[in-house]
Structures are given as structure tokens and as C-alpha cells.
Structure 1
Amino acid sequence: MADRTSSSITIKAEKPEIMAVIADFAEYPEWAEGITAAEVVTTGDDGRAEQVRITLEAGPIKDTYVLAYDWDDDEAVHWHLVERGTMLTGMTGAYRLAERDGETEVTYELAVDVRVPMIGMVRRKAEKRIIDTALKGLKRRVEG
């Protein structure tokens, strides 16, 4: 897996409120640009998703894949690809939350591998766009 790309945003909310939005996969099509469906496949003892089937339509990329999630209470969530799509061959990522002066800094890390060869700089630019769009959508959803 390639190097990760990351970015952060500050949200005016506490960690549990933000993590509740992140964990509510059924609502992703409402705020996560490009995700048209997110179906929880398995759930852990804590009630949070362990595996989620995601359908993505982002420009020319249309794919369905399954991610496995590992939750660290309301501090962080990590994921990795467990079922490849037609385009997506690898993915790891994380949301990390840190409280700062009554707000929460959310850092999103992502590394993606696709079936089509892609220059590293182009891949990182695409990852950065995905991350920034997701963080802005999360902020709007939580604060809105």
C-alpha cells in the first residue's frame, strides 16, 4: 500500500457527536459526495459496523467494495479493503479525532490503490480531493 495522504478540519462539536455521524453509514449518501449506497454487512458487539459494502459513483469511477472497520471508542476509526471492486484493489484509511479548545480536530488519512496504473502524484492529488470533500461534508453534516 502506498503512502497515505491526510488532511484535517476543525468541527464545532464533541467527539461522540462527530463519531456518531461517521458511524451512521446509512446516511452517507446524504453527505458523503460520490457515495450512493452504504450497507452494513456485519456489526460488532458495540453496535458499530464491522464491515460495510459501499457503492461509489465519482465521475468516471463507479465501483462497489467492502471495507472492514476497527473502532477505537470515539478517538479513531481505521478501515481497510476486504472485498475488492472492479477498479479498487486496495484501501486503508482512518478518521482520528482530537479535542481542541471546545472543538474537535478531525484528521482523515487515506491510501488507495486502483487497477489502472496511476502516477503517484496524480493518485495523491485524487486522494487529497476525496479527503477534503469528505471532511467538508462531515463538517456540514455535524454542524448543520
Structure 2
Amino acid sequence: MSDHTSSAVTISAPPADILGVIADFASYPDWADGIKAADVVEHGADGRPARVRFTIDAGLVKDTYTLGYSWDGLGVRWELVEAGSALSAMTGSYTLAEQSPSATDVTYELSIALRVPVPGIMRRRGERQIVDTALKGLRRRVERG
């Protein structure tokens, strides 16, 4: 999983508002395409979600898996801690950079591996679609308030 896909978007909101939406996993099915459920199964010492179980239905890929989260100032990283039937590995992050009091650059990085062999170009295309769709959904959700 050495390759990863990355993309960025500017969102008209301060970092705290964006991190609030990212940490509100229960609302993911409302704005994140393909996510049918996101349940926090463990909180960290800081009160933020530390482990989250996802159920996805993204066309050909249907799965349930658990991600472990680490929150660091203006960002969050995650990795697969309980694999599902389709995903064998996943790492990712959101990194935020405040541009002004009302604008933040958000970079999303993602790397996935599936149990079924998939040519690299198709996997990267799928990652790109996930990243772009997630950033658009996040921006809509944050800017909508």
C-alpha cells in the first residue's frame, strides 16, 4: 500500500467547524456517499472517536470494517484495525491548514487495498473517486451549516 491518492479543497469555514463535521460520524450517511452506517465503538482519552465501525455500499464493494483514529491539532489520521470481507488495508488522513478566519484548506489522503486483486490503475481511480466525492460532500456539509 505504498501508493496513495491525495486531493485538496478550500472550505469557507474555520478548522474547528470542519473538524466538528469530520468527528460527527453518526451523520456520515447523510453526506458521505456509500456510507450506510458509522458507529463510534470507542472514544479516546480526549473524548474524540478512537474506533469507528463503518458499513458501506459502494456499488461493487459492500463491507463492514473498523478504523482506528488519531487526532492531532489540525488533522486526523486513520488506519484499518478490523478488516472486513472486501478491504484488507486502509490508511488515510485529513490535514487542515487555516488560510484566514473563514477559509481552510483541507487535504485528504487515502490508500486502500482490497482482498480481491485489482489492477493498480483501477484501484487508484477508485481511490480518486472516493477522495473527490468525500471532499465535495464535506465542503457541502460544512458550508451548509
Q: Same fold (TM over 0.5)?
A: yes
- For 1:55, the equivalent position in structure 2 comes to 55
- Number of aligned positions between the proteins: 143
Partner of 2:84: 85
Q: 1:109 aligns to what?
A: 109
Question: Partner of 1:2: helix, strand, or coil?
Answer: coil
CA distance in 1, matches of 2:119, 2:5: 14
Q: Give SS of 2:67's match.
A: strand
Structure 2 unaligned spans of 5+: none
RMSD over equivalenced CA pairs, Å:
0.7
- The answer to whether residue 109 in structure 2 is matched with residue 96 in structure 1 is no
How far apart in 1 are the matches of 2:47 and 2:20?
11
Length-normalised TM-score, structure 1: 0.97
Corresponding position: 1:28 with 2:28: yes
Matched, 1:8 2:5: no
Name the aligned partner's letter for residue 8 of structure 1: A
The one-character-per-residue Cα deviations of 1:75-119 (angstroms, maximum 9, x if unpaired) are: 110000000000000000000000113410000000000011111
How many angstroms does 1:2 deviate by? 2.9
Q: Secondary structure at the match of 1:47?
A: coil
* Structure 2 partner of 1:139: 139
**TM-score (norm: length of structure 2):** 0.96
